[in-house]
Structure 1
């Protein structure tokens, strides 16, 4: 994940071109990679759709390139927990990255640096914000879709990864690196990419806690921009 101002500015321009959403330095989401039933602590790998998986967190840029990947948590782990225990979260919390927002869905807590959709929007500005947010954040869902179409070992179309949980985590990181190399070398997208949408994200809404500073930042953006 870049932290220097020049690199972050390039990322912001790419996201702004999608739907005029300003100051975005990444889109974050989770996906589930199906694995065989582990012999130890089997129950913590069962996700909300009742199959065994690794819950993978990714942050990408507007070119579908992964800026950060976290592949180490069992399927029952909530996205918000993975986020709060990630290095990327720490970069924003300690202000190493002090200018820019990540976009996430309602499975993440709204924070001054992590903007989520407005649940049940009641104004035209909120609806406009949600629309721009959805179109911009959709990049990360597409990134996971392309990743799984290129490397079908981690897609349910290929069945289940028949390795230990640790090896499955390593495989996910490896294919993410190869995916980035494909982008850097301008390799074409898989011809049947539309047959591999990413349906791996199944976390429920996050608990935002008593601090409402993120909602204040979001509301200022909505009123001043949308």
Structure 2
């Protein structure tokens, strides 16, 4: 054993003896030497104990602090230096930052829900039921997507004349919403009922407060992902602009296959930008569900306004 470790052990032994008050005025030198030898022997056979005690008595070296590290130093890093420090690329970091800055909903967000019409040839039976509000023969696709524009849940096949809220209430998702969302919620437009698991914008009746208006803007920004998902889906599978397949079963299978392939594909294979276009939809909901939904929505609205006031 080198001299440095011997000195460290002697310092530890002395400190332990003082802590145990073993070297009192009543103890003679012989008993002290015996106790010191016993402690030294114990330390020699138990290296883990020695290491742990050594850490307690070594003084911690002060660390230098870089002032304004995030604001001034990080932006000067090259791509290689940035990856070395943070283990991700600069572009991914900026993407994540923008994602969380754009919306105040992502902390408890399960996904965004909306409906899309897919144009078809008039079916042989009940073709009037498939004429939507634009006078086009179509079927409805209801989908839930995440912030990465990937579909989490789809429901397709209802005639184009059906309202989004009617499709939602007859979908498999409606009754499973509590177990599907749990402590999270979906974002939807005013076509959907507002409840605990589905947050919709405040209806503009001319009496909205500034906090309500801010909430609607944030919600619109948060649910832009579903609008982009539908547009990317149609850009990638252009047959969905006008699907000419015959037979409703075959049509629905084709649409579901397109959604699965969309989830597998990489978004980078398309250059696509789009802006959400607000739609005028009547609000159809059950009164009790609206009451529960309003309490959740009001709570989120207050949090958004509070964070905005803190940042001003």
Please tell me the root mean square deviation across aligned C-alpha atoms, in Å. 2.5
With 70-79 and 14-23 compared, the bigger mean Cα shift is at 14-23
Q: Which has the higher contact order (CA 8 A, sep 6+)?
A: 1
Higher relative helix content: 2
Match of 2:232 in 1: 146
Distance apart, 1:219 and its partner CA: 1.3
Aligned pair count reads 204
- Structure 1 segments (4+ residues) deviating >4 Å: 13-17, 196-199
Q: Contact 2:191–2:281 at 8 Å: present in 1 too?
A: yes
Taking structure 1 as the reference length, the TM-score comes to: 0.81
Higher relative strand content: 1
1:43/1:81 Cα in 2 relative to 1: closer, same or farther (>3 Å)? Answer: same
- Within the candidate set 136, 146, 154, 2:222 is matched to 136
Taking structure 2 as the reference length, the TM-score comes to: 0.60
The answer to whether residue 197 in structure 2 is matched with residue 113 in structure 1 is yes
The answer to whether residue 300 in structure 2 is matched with residue 221 in structure 1 is yes
User: Residue by residue, what CA displacement relative to the aligned partner does 1:135-185 show, whole Å, maximum 9, x if unpaired?
Assistant: 110100000000000000002xxx442422322211111100000010xxx
Q: Contact 2:191–2:282 at 8 Å: present in 1 too?
A: yes
1:45/1:86 Cα in 2 relative to 1: closer, same or farther (>3 Å)? Answer: same
Partner secondary structure for residue 270 of structure 2? coil
1:91/1:215 Cα in 2 relative to 1: closer, same or farther (>3 Å)? Answer: same
Q: Give the greater-gyration-radius structure (CA).
A: 2
User: Residue by residue, what CA displacement relative to the aligned partner does 1:103-145 show, whole Å, maximum 9, x if unpaired?
Assistant: 0001101111100111226212111111110011010000000
Partner secondary structure for residue 221 of structure 1? helix
Q: Contact 1:104–1:114 at 8 Å: present in 2 too?
A: yes
User: Residue by residue, what CA displacement relative to the aligned partner does 1:32-51 show, whole Å, maximum 9, x if unpaired?
Assistant: 00000000111111111111
Match of 1:209 in 2: 286
Q: Contact 1:110–1:116 at 8 Å: present in 2 too?
A: yes
Distance apart, 1:217 and its partner CA: 1.7
